[in-house]
Amino acid sequence: MRHRDWTTRLNEVIKAAQGRPFSWGEFDCCLFAADCSSAVCGVDPAEQYRGSYKTESGAKRALKKRHGSLEAAWDACFARVAVPFIQRGDVVMYEAPAGRSMAVFWAGDYWAATDDGVARVVCEPLAAWRVE
């Protein structure tokens, strides 16, 4: 269930992450999306991953060991929703230049962790999860 003030919480998470540089295991695409999920409904899909890796290869190893795939990690916490039915606060997976990445849908745009902090990204979602 979403927090009553989830819109304020999510907006604060996005604002705080703008300008924060990308760093594997500290501030990356999945951790940002998980921070957004926590703000919306209190569920942290990355809880068991935080602090367990410091590199891209470490993230992939941890993901493969615990859930097998990025999709399975999000499936363990939230129900999928068809991409045309995405709502504010939902999380999507998309193909970024460096590989699959996660973004949150907010204010009519997709927001994701980039090298220079959270920013709007143009993407075609491959999958979506209802965060609630």
User: From first to last of its 132 residues, what are the pLDDT tens digits of the chain?
Assistant: 999 999 999 999 999 999 999 999 999 999 999 999 999 999 999 999 999 999 999 999 999 999 999 999 999 999 999 999 999 999 999 999 989 999 999 999 999 999 999 999 999 999 999 999
pTM above 0.85, yes or no: yes
Superfamily of domain 6-130: endopeptidase domain like (from Nostoc punctiforme) (3.90.1720.10)
Q: Strand pairing partners for 93?
A: 102, 127
Helix (H) / strand (E) containing 91: strand 91-96
| Ranges of each domain in the chain | 6-130
* CA of residue 118 relative to chain centroid, distance: 11
Non-local CB neighbours of 106 within 8 Å, separated by 6+ positions: 10, 11, 14, 36, 88, 89
- CA nearest to 89, candidates 72, 107, 102, 70: 107
